[in-house]
């Protein structure tokens, strides 16, 4: 037996009731006997590209090439890609690609792990990052520092081997 919950409106006269106003609804428990097993579906998934919005693709390519130590690759007038272990770190300037829109910075941190955290920290400090924190040990075990790139994107750089994945 599987227990399900049926939602019934206490105010039937409302044509489009507010689904978030739970006080207008009654919940009735019903039981259903399943005759077929539930088929589990799974998909092989892989994160392969992360977009980093920028307002000047040339400045972004220069900044990230300097801190990453690799030139990356310009793949269009407004996109410059860096391969990070099979995941593309994609700097994207919509205006340079001919789009009519602009993008603000990502709303939260993008996290990258690196083997030599201290050396990378010095590269970031000397290459024009905005805000930059000190290197710190987090209660969940990560050794990390945070910084803002010149476009306001927030990044967290974690020492390889200390990544917390839940």
pLDDT number for residue 2: 46
Contact 111, 155 (CB under 8 A): yes
Determine if the pTM surpasses 0.85: no
Of residues 5 and 150, the one with the higher pLDDT is 150
Of residues 70 and 24, the one with the higher pLDDT is 70
Burial annotation 34-62 (CB, 10 A radius, 16+ → b, else e): eeeeeeeeeeeeeeeeeebbbbebebbbe
pLDDT number for residue 4: 44
pLDDT number for residue 9: 47
Which residues lie below 8 Å from residue 31, measured CB to CB, with a gap of 6+? 1, 2, 3, 4
Q: Are strands 136-137 and 143-148 parallel, antiparallel or unpaired?
A: antiparallel
| pLDDT exceeds 60 at position 25 | no
- Tell me the pLDDT tens digit for each residue of 31-60: 556 667 777 778 889 999 999 999 999 999
Q: What is the mean pLDDT of residues 62-89?
A: 97
Q: Residue 115 and residue 38: Cα distance in Å, rounded?
A: 44
pLDDT above 70: percentage of residues in the chain? 79
Of 139, 81, 130, 80, whose CA–CA distance to 105 is shortest? 130
Which residues lie below 8 Å from residue 73, measured CB to CB, with a gap of 6+? 80, 81, 82
List beta partners, residue 5.
Answer: 29
- Tell me the pLDDT tens digit for each residue of 98-117: 999 989 999 999 999 999 99
């Amino acid at each position: 037996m599987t227990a399900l919950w049926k939602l019934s409106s206490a105010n039937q006269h409302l044509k489009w009731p507010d689904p978030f106003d739970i006080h207008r609804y009654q919940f009735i428990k019903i039981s259903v006997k399943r005759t077929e097993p539930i088929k589990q579906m799974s998909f092989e998934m892989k994160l392969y590209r992360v977009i980093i919005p920028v307002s000047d693709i040339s400045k972004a390519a220069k900044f990230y090439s300097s801190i990453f130590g690799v030139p990356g690759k310009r793949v269009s007038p407004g996109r410059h890609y860096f391969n990070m272990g099979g995941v593309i770190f994609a700097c994207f300037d919509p205006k340079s690609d001919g789009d009519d829109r602009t993008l603000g910075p990502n709303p939260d941190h993008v996290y990258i792990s690196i083997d030599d955290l201290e050396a990378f920290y010095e590269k970031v400090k000397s290459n024009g990052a905005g805000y930059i924190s000190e290197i710190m040990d987090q209660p969940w075990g990560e050794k990390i520092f945070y910084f803002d790139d010149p476009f306001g994107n927030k990044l967290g750089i974690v020492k390889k081997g200390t990544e917390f994945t839940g």
